[in-house]
A and B are shown apart, each in its own frame.
Chain A
């Protein structure tokens, strides 16, 4: 029987140099000290959360634009039909 070997997947990391607002940096250093982790960990988590929120906002805008496109360019009577109210010219009128 084969033994399944589990490997922890750690995202690749790259060293870089950033210029950050001093007050944010002070706050991040305080959090790092309190949690006993290094500054890179705190910055990476904050960046990751910020990027997640950015992606959510982008997706929200995309859905909104899609909806707007789905209902743009129609008259009020056409909108009634799109809303399930099927109206037609009356026969014989």
Chain B
């Protein structure tokens, strides 16, 4: 159990939605308690991923469903907490991570009938590098629901501390261990 008062934490894109959709009462209580102490901190990259997601769904949706998607998008943007920008120091750290780990550690995702392209997988991997870099620069633990990607980044940083002076380690917290 992670003390909600011990934040603030940076929330990865997958963590934010996982927490909001959790049916487990203890997870909801954790988020409610966290929100009494801190804002939800996210990287600007999370906003990019999220808004692109709403926009793609809206474009693919029939007319009668578009209203729900737009209402969800507005609800998300209305409650947006602290957004960390992609500034010079984040760019420098992210560049180091991308050079260390040029390829995604896992293959593209697929479901029963849908597939993620290699290009999309690479984009998502680069976005994860930017989010990890933001957590390092902000010196905040990163809450995530994506252990394959972020554990790879954490290990790589630990193996090359000379490339990340005065930064790190990347502190990771899995969603499932919060409450």
The chain A residues found within 8 Å of chain B, CB to CB, are 56-57, 59-64, 66-74, 76-90, 93
Q: How far is the CB of A53 from chain B (nearest CB, A)?
A: 8
Known contacts A60-B36, A73-B72: A87-B115 contact under CB 8 Å = yes
B53 at the interface (CB under 8 A from A): yes
Q: Do B111 and A87 touch across chains, with their CB atoms under 8 A apart?
A: yes
Question: 11 other contacts beyond A64-B32, A82-B53, with CB at 8 A cut-off?
Answer: A67-B19, A67-B79, A71-B17, A76-B111, A80-B109, A81-B57, A83-B13, A84-B14, A84-B53, A87-B110, A87-B115
Q: Which of B52-86 contact A (CB under 8 A)?
A: 52-54, 56-57, 68, 71-73, 75-76, 78-79, 81
Q: Do A67 and B28 touch across chains, with their CB atoms under 8 A apart?
A: no
B158 at the interface (CB under 8 A from A): no
Q: Which 4 A-B pairs have the closest CB atoms?
A: A84-B49, A66-B79, A70-B76, A60-B35
Q: Do A87 and B14 touch across chains, with their CB atoms under 8 A apart?
A: no
Residue of A nearest to B78 (CB): A66
Q: Do B116 and A85 touch across chains, with their CB atoms under 8 A apart?
A: yes
Whole-angstrom CA separation of A68 from B79 in the bound complex: 10
Whole-angstrom CA separation of A69 from B52 in the bound complex: 18
Residue of A nearest to B76 (CB): A70
Q: How far is the CB of B80 from chain A (nearest CB, A)?
A: 9
11 pairs of residues in contact across A and B, judged by CB atoms under 8 Å: A62-B79, A64-B32, A70-B75, A70-B79, A72-B21, A73-B68, A77-B111, A82-B53, A84-B52, A86-B53, A86-B56
B79 cross-chain contacts in A, Cβ below 8 A: 62-63, 66-67, 70
Q: Do A63 and B111 touch across chains, with their CB atoms under 8 A apart?
A: no
Q: Do A82 and B54 touch across chains, with their CB atoms under 8 A apart?
A: yes
